[in-house]
Chains A and B, each alone.
Chain A
Amino acid sequence: MGAPEETNKRLRYLISEGLTGISISCDGPTLVGIDADHPLAEGEVGLVGCSICTLDDIEVIFSDIPIESLRPLLIYAQPASAIIFAMFLLLCKRRGIDIRQLEATIQNDPIYQMSGGALECLDKFTPVELAMRLSLDTIEYCAKNMPKAKPIGINAYNVRERGVDAVTEVAYGIGLAVDMAAALVERGVGIDEFAPNISFFMSTHIDFFEEVAKYRAARRLWARVMKQKFQAQREASCRFRVAVQTAGSSLTTQQPLNNIIRTASEVIASVLGGVQSIRATPYDEGICLPTESSARIAIRTQQIIFEETGIGNTADPLGGSYYVEWLTNQIEDRAAMELEEIEKAGGVVAAIKSGRLERAVNDAIEKRQAKMSVGEDVVVGVNEYVVAEEDVGIQDIYRADLGLEEKRKEYLMRYRSEREGQSVSRAREELLKLAKQGVNLISPIMQALEAKMTMGEIADALREAYGFVLRGA
């Protein structure tokens, strides 16, 4: 939802419907780390999620929401991710919440958080070196101060949703985790201090058995990498923990109610694959932000599957099936090979910069289209079983409030005029200085926020420390 106030209202509604974890989608400007009044934010404020620019925004979003008893989930791209994490820490401090006990999850993925064009997105708004550092800072901060937090969820979902197959999803997911783990070890953080809290975020697509096998294969590959490459001692370090979302890209804009069935099938595959948590994608994904009704059906889909079918009664119920075991071996071998190629290319960032992932994505998109156009891949309602003139069947399409941009601009102008100019510029100088040194930036960002610097201003100071100029303004 676009405005912090509106987001707070929707959160309270969802909690009353039985929600146990909360995550706030942000809008485009927040995603790329600029304030709502930045020239590049024009026409984008609140369009696809909430606009978050100040510490006060976070106060409003979580007002009257017991964050300590829910499991909050922070999913943002860098540099906003580290800044919103710092806002969250300050919110806990103000409320007297003990962060050592908090089961927060921070996605904190340094490079995969943008939906498209990994190559085009990589260095467009934030230098990748800064993004990587902020993600490592967040993990290091949590390893020292928040033992129950999950400070990294590698976002292989977005890689997959761009079109690549299950094998490439596993390889680039584990590949990034390997690069980050190596960097943390180099910083002097012990592998067993942080590895148990590494998690992955993946997409459960429509090919049922392949998805079940994918999670089984990834689990084996990760355990092997942790033992052999990093000599992890704790068993927990070798556990592949994965949160999944059912594939938005498998859903169709045509006959959208059919998507409820697709999502249900993907939820079942996820459970059989043994994942740790699931988000069912609402059926109107291809049309708009979820409405109250589609969000409710997505929650009910999971509740019916978990609480009525008995599907969770045993772990790995498909283990021993000749087909699933064969597929698991196949995916594991191929993913291990691709992982090796990524390592040879110099790691995930280097592999993306070389255009390797880009080519895989383009090939996959074209191959899929070719298969669909000759009917080799059937998509119900798209290339088969099409209805001529259809009523979308969604009565209450969510439309963003286009007046929000002006409101947010006015809000920011007020926010900036009501703070003490001198302490802001002092905070900026201090942040810039520390960013040029190698220190962990989470505490300095908290100080900057307390001096009332905005998210965009902090992001800009960090970019400046890296000699980076945001183009296009």
Chain B
Amino acid sequence: MRKVPRVVLGKIGLDSHDTGMRLVSSLLRNAGYEVIYAGLFNTPETLVKAAIDEDVDVVGLSFHSGGQVEKVHRVLELLAKKKANIPLVVGGVIVQDDIPKLKAMGVREVFVPGSSADDIIRFFRGAFGGGHQA
């Protein structure tokens, strides 16, 4: 893994609640990560393409309107098809029942409301390295 891990952040679908993703984007940048901000209105296809084209180390997906299990499933399917072994992190309003489901599918971590900035950065450092020293 390169010294400065590269993360792509995006939302899939038509939901446009982007406050959380913007915040995480600036958190990660300030902590020394390189963030590719894919923003709103991605399809699983466009997001996976961005992840591969930009050669990222982590994909971060944000959800606020449900349907995350189906969408994450599709993203994982596409990544597998491209033989791209890129870890996935999910954040947003995720109903409790979906968290074990997402993790069983292979999502590395799920951050729900209440996750602190420290939690997120600590996890990224532990899992993907990089970032400034705390």
Contact = CB atoms under 8 A, between A and B. Distances in A.
Interface of A: 28-29, 31-32, 40-44, 47-48, 114-117, 120-121, 124, 162-163, 249, 252-254, 286-288, 361-362, 365-366, 369, 373, 382-383, 386, 392, 397, 399-400, 402, 472
Nearest to A288: B95
A397 B95 contact: yes
Nearest to B43: A472
Contacts of A44: 13-15, 65, 67
Contacts, number: 98
B35 to A, nearest CB: 13
B14 A32 contact: yes
Interface string B50-86: 0000000000000001110011001000000000000
Contact of B14 (A28, A163, A362): A28
Interface in B1-42: 12-19, 22-23, 26-27, 39-41
Interface string B104-130: 000000001110111000000000000
B67 A117 contact: no
Nearest to B26: A366
B19 A116 contact: yes
B133 interface: no
B34 to A, nearest CB: 18
Contact of A28 (B65, B71, B74, B118): B65
A116 B40 contact: yes
A431 B113 CA distance: 46
B113 A162 contact: no
Contacts of B16: 114-117, 120-121
A48 B66 contact: yes
Contacts of A124: 40-41
Contacts of A117: 16, 18, 39-40
Nearest to A369: B23
Contacts of B67: 43-44, 47, 400, 402
A165 to B, nearest CB: 15
B61 to A, nearest CB: 13
Contacts of B117: 369, 373
Nearest to B15: A28
Contact of A162 (B13, B19, B43, B65): B19
A253 B19 contact: no
A120 B40 contact: yes
Given A116-B17, A362-B26, 17 more contacts: A28-B14, A28-B15, A44-B13, A48-B66, A117-B39, A121-B16, A253-B93, A253-B112, A287-B95, A288-B66, A365-B19, A365-B23, A369-B27, A373-B116, A399-B66, A402-B70, A472-B46
Nearest to B113: A253
Of A28, A43, A254, A392, which is in contact with the most chain B CB atoms at under 10 Å from its CB? A43
A472 B22 CA distance: 22
A115 B13 contact: no
B114 A253 contact: yes
Given A117-B18, A365-B19, A252 B116 contact: no
B15 A48 contact: yes
A203 to B, nearest CB: 14
Contacts of B118: 373
B18 A116 contact: yes
A386 B114 CA distance: 10
Contacts of B65: 28, 44, 47-48
Contacts of B26: 362, 365-366
Contacts of B14: 28-29, 31-32, 40-41, 44
A366 B15 CA distance: 21
Lowest 4 A-B CB distances belong to which pairs? Answer: A28-B14, A116-B16, A253-B113, A116-B18
A103 B20 CA distance: 38
Nearest to A113: B16
A397 B84 CA distance: 35
B93 A287 contact: yes
Given A28-B15, A254-B113, A373-B117, A47 B95 contact: no
Contacts of A41: 14
